[in-house]
A and B are shown apart, each in its own frame.
Chain A
Amino acid sequence: NAGVTQTPKFRILKIGQSMTLQCAQDMNHNYMYWYRQDPGMGLKLIYYSVGAGITDKGEVPNGYNVSRSTTEDFPLRLELAAPSQTSVYFCASSWALAGGKGGEQFFGPGTRLTVL
């Protein structure tokens, strides 16, 4: 099992550019999440999904979009990148909904994004 994989590992964007951060899991988890972590701060939830075709906003969704066409993949789209989106992005998945028994999350290694 590869677990949760994320690509790319690093990326530098110019202001106004767009990109998609890829996330895939091979554990057949229904629940998937995107977080960002800014320096000195905890992880903040951007979007989450409870299954293919179903997504919802987290704490900090502005400037991002997601889609979930398959159980395995949960890409995060940045439109019109801004310096405030400079962060480390983590994708995660879980067997049950996070925050309850069985909801322990498996995280990918992260994507470090810099917007200049």
Chain B
Amino acid sequence: DQQVKQNSPSLSVQEGRISILNCDYTNSMFDYFLWYKKYPAEGPTFLISISSIKDKNEDGRFTVFLNKSAKHLSLHIVPSQPGDSAVYFCAASAVSAIYDMRFGAGTRLTVKP
């Protein structure tokens, strides 16, 4: 039962444009969400997080938006850079099982120069 879904396996954008990566979840108990980035042959690295008490969190070029009613979050990267090319994972957890992060399958972002 995949509780966190990233329905787009891949996304390609031009350098300088906005990248929007989407994530949907089914468990209404999820209250903390994170995005991780992964380069080939490396482990995932933390990018940005958001708590369910917020609907937006910004860190430099990265912004995460949370729509609780739609059970949807998105990661915006503006402007996109070639070095952003990686696989992006969405993850979520519930306060009742705070250790148990559930990950999406990832979206491969390619930023073309």
Contacts and interface: CB of A to CB of B under 8 A. Distances in A.
Interface stretch (B14-22, B60-68, B76-84, B94-102): B94-102
B2 interface: yes
B100 A99 contact: yes
A74 interface: no
A109 B103 CA distance: 17
Nearest to A42: B103
Given A41-B105, A101-B51, A104-B34, A109 B98 contact: no
Chain B contact patch, size range: 20 to 34
A31 B98 CA distance: 12
Secondary structure call for the B interface: strand
Contacts of B51: 101
Contact of B43 (A4, A45, A104): A4
A56 B97 CA distance: 12
B98 A97 contact: yes
Contacts of A58: 99-100
Interface string A58-80: 11000000000000000000000
B100 A104 contact: no
* Chain B CB within 10 A, most for which of A90, A105, A110: A105
Contact of A99 (B2, B4, B9, B98): B98
B41 A109 contact: yes
Interface string A84-107: 000000101000011111011111
A99 B101 contact: yes
18 contacts: A31-B99, A42-B2, A42-B4, A42-B105, A43-B44, A43-B103, A50-B99, A90-B44, A98-B93, A99-B94, A99-B99, A101-B32, A103-B98, A104-B34, A104-B46, A106-B45, A107-B43, A110-B42
Interface of B: 2, 4, 9, 32, 34, 36, 41-46, 49, 51, 89, 91, 93-95, 97-106
Given A42-B89, A99-B94, 7 more contacts: A43-B103, A44-B103, A48-B99, A104-B46, A106-B43, A108-B43, A110-B43
